[in-house]
Amino acid sequence: MAHSRKVEPALDIRPIAGALGAEIYGIDASRELDETTVAAVRQALLDHLVIFLPDQKLTPVRQLAFAKRFGEPMIYPFVKGLEDFPEITPILKREEDRNNFGGIWHSDTVYQQQPPMGTMLYALELPPYGGDTLFANQYLAYDALSDGMKGLLGGLKAIHISGKSRVQQTRTDMMKHASVGKKGDELQSLHPVIRTHPETGRKALYVNVAHTIRFDGMTEEESAPILDFLFEHQIQPEFTCRFRWSPGALAFWDNRSAMHYPINDYHGFRRLMHRITLAGDTPS
């Protein structure tokens, strides 16, 4: 006699765009999740590159506990975390601030030797409108390159720095009230221009306008024409999705295959998010 196997309920996953991004309904991230659900969420992340869990109610303790089911939380190097939870970075734009933190296309802290595998961002206070976040699929960006360009880039590595002027500008308001005492230009890394995702095996374009300055073995002037082309190429609308935040929404994105860009279009309003980044491996 065949034994019946308990079938776990499938996640309610609703894609928000053709390129990437999906909302997941029916999960309470404040509760202890079983292994099957954790595995399903992780698979959804790999499939959609960025996932959104609406209507969560997360204390710092519960957000950290949820994050730890998917990786090891890292401490951001330039801005203070919460006093009792240094792994949680408050991302705050105050009413009087003009610059929004990280307001440029980027992958998180790619200037580290082991950049984070993913980032979780939880919405606590939002403006009445504006403050959306764009995401871009870097698998698609790679796939759309010509064979000749793929061949050229396949053997190259790029140098990434934490102190590129445009990204330094986006940190100025946050650094005024939450700096850990660093200037923000201390870190540098060397990573392949084409990254192979360690879980999916797919190739992704791994440069970004915020941190990438040149190819290894070339000058900035020599690198600029190709990098400028790639910076434009990798954010084509067909590769992107746009997420409109709601109170309690939790976003979780794969930093190895997606870039993001928080839009700075809500001057005079306050926006507060709690961010956790999860430790990654050395890109290869």
Name the residues annotated as catalytic: 106, 108, 260, 275
CB 159 within 8 A of CB 190: yes
Give the whole-angstrom CA distance, residue 271 versus residue 195. Answer: 33
Written as six digits, the tokens of 83 are: 């006093």
Q: Are 82 and 90 in contact (CB under 8 A)?
A: yes
**Hey, how many other C-beta atoms are within 10 angstroms of the C-beta on 221?**
8
Residue 134 near residue 16, CB atoms below 8 Å: no
* Residue 262 β-bridge partners: 133
Q: Which tokens go with 18?
A: 């053709």
**Which candidate, 220, 212, 206, 174, places its Cα nearest to that of 282?**
206
From CA 138, how far away is CA 151, in angstroms rounded? 17
